Structure 1
Amino acid sequence: MFRAILPEGQIMCEDYDRTDDGLRLYDESGDFIAFVPYANLHALLNEDVYNESERSIM
């Protein structure tokens, strides 16, 4: 599971494809859910690696 961080909020997705202009986000069924231009993308987090309980405060 991935989390795309945008200025307006977040989008959860299961998979994504990189394009020249941004990311195409897909749900668990492989259905397209959103296109996010790189200019609007603050971060793409892999939820399997990033866990809020392991967040560092430093």
Structure 2
Amino acid sequence: MYRAILPEGQVVCERYERDENGVELYDDDDRFVAFVPYASLHALLDEETYESDERSIM
């Protein structure tokens, strides 16, 4: 699982694909969830990093 960190909040997804202009996010059924432009993407973290790192990522 991955977590896309945006200025407005977060989007959780199973996988992602990089595009020239941003990332496409997909759920565990391989359904499209969202497109996030690179300009709006603060970070894209795997769940293991998100849950184990004690530092603030916001």
- Structure 1 stretches of 4+ with a deviation exceeding 6 A read none
Alignment size in residue pairs = 56
Q: CA RMSD in A?
A: 1.6
Q: TM-score, normalised by structure 1?
A: 0.86
Unaligned runs of 5+ in 1: none
Q: Which protein shows a greater Rg?
A: 1
Q: Alignment identity in percent?
A: 55
Unaligned runs of 5+ in 2: none
Q: TM-score, normalised by structure 2?
A: 0.86
- Structure with greater helix share of residues: 2
